[in-house]
Structure 1
Amino acid sequence: MEFATEKYLLTYYKRYAKQLGFGVKTFRTKREADVSAKYLTIGCAHGGTYHPSHSNVSRPRPTTKTNCKAKVNAKLVKGVWVLTTIQIVHNHSTVSPQKSRFFRFHKRLDEYSQRMLDLNDRASIRMNKNFEALVDVGGFENLEFQEKDARNFINKAKHLRLGKGGGEALSDYFERMSVMNDGFISVMDMDDECRVINVFWADARSRAAYEYFRDVITFDTTYLTNRYGMTFAPFVGVNHHGQSILLGAGLISNEDTNTFVSLFQAWLKCMNDRAPKAIITDQDRTMKSAITIVFLDSRQRYCLWHIMQKLPEKLGSHSQFNAGLKTGIQSALYDSHGI
């Protein structure tokens, strides 16, 4: 068999491996002085042997290496790639094409999916809903990537939006604020290129207000998203006049449990480790998990607005929903003067 380019050869073997249910790996490539390839070996990802980097033989690490010999060798002859050796026998079991599509070499985040993920993320749609939208459009059985891959793509995209040097400018600003405001506190997570990943800040006024009004706080990430795609996450309380007061804020590039845990820990440390009695949030699962980790003695309560938004979904099919039931529920919630 002959192939016009190295790319065509890789694509052909990749398609063959996907149908038979095994992963693919490029084992070795011999190149000329001008970096152009001359010899190429492509084979099963289970090929080769495992060489542990530690000396503790009593606790070997799990490995997928089985020294499988399935592979093809190709050589560049007069401008075309020619297969010189073909081995098709595997020494391990293979999987169905529906499962093999999730092997690392077979995963592919197509241009359409990248565009939809990016647009939905800029519209502040959470990752689980973002991924579900792609599943609804194409069907899960046709996707060549998982939610983890989509999340990694969005994280990388957010870092690129902020650009190099943005983290340094924000850090300099916070330093100036610390000099001007004696009680100002900030925490920043940055990568190696000074790109901001997550940031938290609170001034002296917010910390002082929390001393008096720390019974109940609200935490909401649906307010807005900045130009770099980072979600604004404010901590808000209520004073004795019924007015909202800011008790600190953050910018986060991801809405997973680890990010929320880091943000909550930074806020709690800023408030001298005194947790509120209750914290009101939406019904996000990752946020709920983080609250149980950080705010051990605080009660979580769901936001009334989010609850009311779900009334039509949960009770809309009831025969009396539009004939007094909805109005009665609203009156009980909004017009009651006591509990």
Structure 2
Amino acid sequence: MEKMWCKAKINAKLSEDGRFKLSSIVLEHTHVVSPSKAKYFRCHKKLNARVKRKPEQLNEAGVRMSKNYKAPAIEVVGYENLPFGEKDCRNYINKVMNELLGEGDAEALRNYLMKMQQKNDRFFYVIDLDKESHLKHVFCADARSRVAYESFGDVITFDTTYLTNKYKMPFAPFVGVNHHGQSILFGCGLLSNENIDTFVWLFETWLKCMSDQAPNAIITNQDRAM
């Protein structure tokens, strides 16, 4: 990206009486200005109580984030009229999901998975935490799932389901078919969101669990834009 070396600025100093006074002003820009884009500055991004409620309701109903963001845009007749971006909407929903999964619940889940691994060292699990050490995603697969994949892992089906747990978090099972035509579980994940980074983490974790042996084909009906 070419540098514009724009010197436009406004400087202010705090005077002895506690007031700010302008010390210098340069209004000339070396580029075309776009006042309409000022809404993307952090200080202008606002999700008020009314705006927040709509994404919450859609998330509770299982609406994917790619479509969730469209609802408030329709109400204000265009994305350009929204005071926030899709990333802000995603971050807010992720925050809501983290609050739903309380510290006690996360600790109980961790303890349960550790106990399962102590019973069988082939039980596999990974817990992904955020910067505040809050639980984001979980993946696990028991010994039988890992053994079954060695024989029936040529083709798997993958999809996420909604509203199947009290946290309303997407549940992501990896499923195959055995020689009796019965569905078998090869592992599953509990996710806090459905963005690209999350699915990259999930599939990399699953492959690590299966000794990096990828299937020949994956069947899915995911319709989100990734």
Q: State TM-score, norm by structure 2.
A: 0.85
Aligned mates of 1:172, 1:283 — CA distance in 2: 32
Higher relative contact order (CA 8 A, sep 6+): 2
What residue is the counterpart of 1:158 in the other structure?
A: 97
Aligned mates of 2:177, 2:202 — CA distance in 1: 21
User: Given the alignment, which residue of 68, 74, 90 partners 2:27?
Assistant: 90
Tell me whether 1:248 sits opposite 2:192 in the alignment.
no
Gapped runs of 5+ residues in structure 2? none
CA-CA distance at 1:171 after TM superposition: 1.3
Aligned mates of 2:165, 2:4 — CA distance in 1: 43
Aligned residues: 224
User: Given the alignment, which residue of 191, 210, 232 partners 2:171?
Assistant: 232
What residue is the counterpart of 1:281 in the other structure?
A: 220
What residue is the counterpart of 2:209 in the other structure?
A: 270
User: Given the alignment, which residue of 46, 53, 57 partners 1:108?
Assistant: 46
What residue is the counterpart of 1:70 in the other structure?
A: 10
In structure 2, relative to structure 1, the CA distance for the partners of 1:96 and 1:205 (3 Å cut) is same
Q: Is the 8 A contact 1:256 1:286 kept in 2?
A: no
1:42-99 alpha-carbon deviations (Å, 9 max, x no partner): xxxxxxxxxxxxxxxxxxxx9999564425668798xxx9775486542425633322
User: Given the alignment, which residue of 123, 127, 132 partners 2:61?
Assistant: 123
What amino acid is the match of 1:114? K
In structure 2, relative to structure 1, the CA distance for the partners of 1:255 and 1:159 (3 Å cut) is same
Q: Is the 8 A contact 2:66 2:225 kept in 1?
A: no
Gapped runs of 5+ residues in structure 1? 1-61, 288-339
Q: State TM-score, norm by structure 1.
A: 0.59
Aligned pairs (5 A) from 1:1-339: 68-71=8-11, 84-85=21-22, 89-92=26-29, 93=31, 95-139=33-77, 140-191=79-130, 193-285=132-224
Give the alignment's Cα RMSD to 1 decimal: 2.8
In structure 2, relative to structure 1, the CA distance for the partners of 1:72 and 1:169 (3 Å cut) is same
Q: Is the 8 A contact 1:257 1:286 kept in 2?
A: no
CA-CA distance at 1:194 after TM superposition: 4.0
What amino acid is the match of 1:250? G
Point out the structure with max Rg over C-alpha: 1
Aligned mates of 1:233, 1:64 — CA distance in 2: 47
